Structure 1
């Protein structure tokens, strides 16, 4: 029988894939707390060792002074008894040593191998403490100098030493007493952190519930109940909602504009299609087909204009101003592309500009769309036999681009309405869609250009754009 396959709870696996803010916060806080426990233990041990050293040093000095007092009280020539030596050397937690060194006679009593200090004590200056090694053991020594009462010209150095085991043992005992207390404190702090993190994350619950109740509402979510630390996130979401609202509004406007522009051509197509279904003379059939072709062309142009307007409305400034363009080279090329069309329409299309480079930031594709719409407006409404002139100049840190015709022009009462969507001057003729100048207006705005309309010197219309110039020619 095959062994059962191991299976893990799905929420465990999901938890491995997802990043939990609660888990990250707790880990970021738990690890420093554990390091704090270790550091606290080390500090506690060092502090306990320093305290133990201070106490033992004091006792060691007292023992040296007691031995010196004992030497002053013993009769002349009498040596230390065995019991006295035992008491001086006995230590239940380690080992004690002592020596009495005469300046004239050397070691008189005690351990011969107890090394003197590199800085020997002075008479009436108290005891000196120092560390040395006695065979393979590290010891602590307290030494003091006293006069030899039996030889006035001689000095005695009294030294008492002990091993360090007892000092370390006392420090470890203090550490073992402190660790449980520190552990309890750390656990209590961790429990408080756990509670604080969970309680703090619950502050997001009103925002979560408010978002869960929304369906199509894209209003800003930043409100008074949003914590200050979360507001950068909510402001970013509000910005995203704002861009989404703009896109939806743009979509709705496109649908409304398309319905507005295509309603008439589609209705006309239906009428002429019905005409073709009835018996017709060849002339009537040809007329219906011609009408259908014109309506199809109008619908196609309206669709192209709507798409161009949508692109102009949705393009961001940083998407447009990503190239350095020489307008003195670009504009003549774009005008040249429309010459054959102007000749076919019976219009004289010309260009006047400078020979030196004129630099600016912008999008060549969008600038071509802008200029095509301005030239198309002149070709469509100036009338056969008229002139359309494109001019380019630079002055006072600005670039001036203008398109002027000598056609019938636009009455001054309607100049302020030029550039509005679907606006056509009453009685102006032509079969335009009323979107060309609106497209030019949007592209000019995104390039930071000021666009205005005024009457020309010969009575036609002048469309003038002022672009900010590039500060310097690129390398």
Structure 2
């Protein structure tokens, strides 16, 4: 059976607290019990020595007429000893207090005596003239004194017990916090910018584990780099022949007469155009993954929106689609902490995607607004929208909604989502409520950057 189980016992802190706390508790209770027993015996031995010294002194003195009369309060409350003197025939001759039974012990030495509900400790010693001197001390006083002394000895143990548990809990929490921080550092790794975890504050016991994880991260980074190089090389190698085929097709277009051959020629042109667009998007995606984000930069949102719309206005005119920008008041100076290339990549792909799937004569509105202090960009079209069962998969690479119009590559939304994340924005899709169409919403996950100065 392993040390780590399920639930709380599946963590290092749970194991430490689960095993060490009961151990501390048992050790503390045993120590307290042993201390109580030892102190009780020590107090009893000390009181016995005092009784012996007193009894021997009274026996040697021989003058029993000078015994002072005691009271019950002094005997039971303060532990004053009672002295009894017996004649040779066992009859009580003198007693300093009459509240205790007059019973001579059969032999000299220390004895325990029961007098009803009261216990007594008795020391008997022979005196001159055949007489016997007995010194008696209240058992309740002895118990009270022993309990007080033992309690004083046990009290530090009982005080240190919760303190030691608190220290243990703090140490276990610090260890857990260190391990969680290592886990958070691993979770914050970016797919396209993998870095080794620092080892300066890692406990020695788990340093080999973190070192192995760093080795795995390095291999994973190399694998991603190799994948990006392959995509770049393949896209570059394909770009030239596809461009050559497109040029040859353009040269042949004028030599074909109308008819079935011309129709098949247009299909061939459409396929070549789609292949060219796929290669361009593969290159765009590869560039995004190979460039690390630069902290500290910012880009003006409305300016990039206008540039994206200007770049795609020809496609909108070709499809007779009304493409426009609707900017809310106070949004002209909104900025985002990213590069212009990343924001343009997200905007271009979303707007182009809306233009390609909106029927001719439709409308595509690009909205810029502030929602709860956060920058929001919405691309609203009048296309068919996306069924709910496919909405979660459209961000997968090369996935195309079944039944969608030909010409797409299945990479546009994946590229837009990756670029949006690099800009600190979340991309969500939902169908319109007022009519058919899709709303692609880019919302910043943090407040806007300080406004950029106007030119």
User: What band does the TM-score fall into relative to the shorter chain?
Assistant: 0.3 to 0.5
**TM-score relative to the length of structure 2:** 0.45
Q: TM-score, normalised by structure 1?
A: 0.43
Which structure has the larger Rg over C-alpha atoms? 1
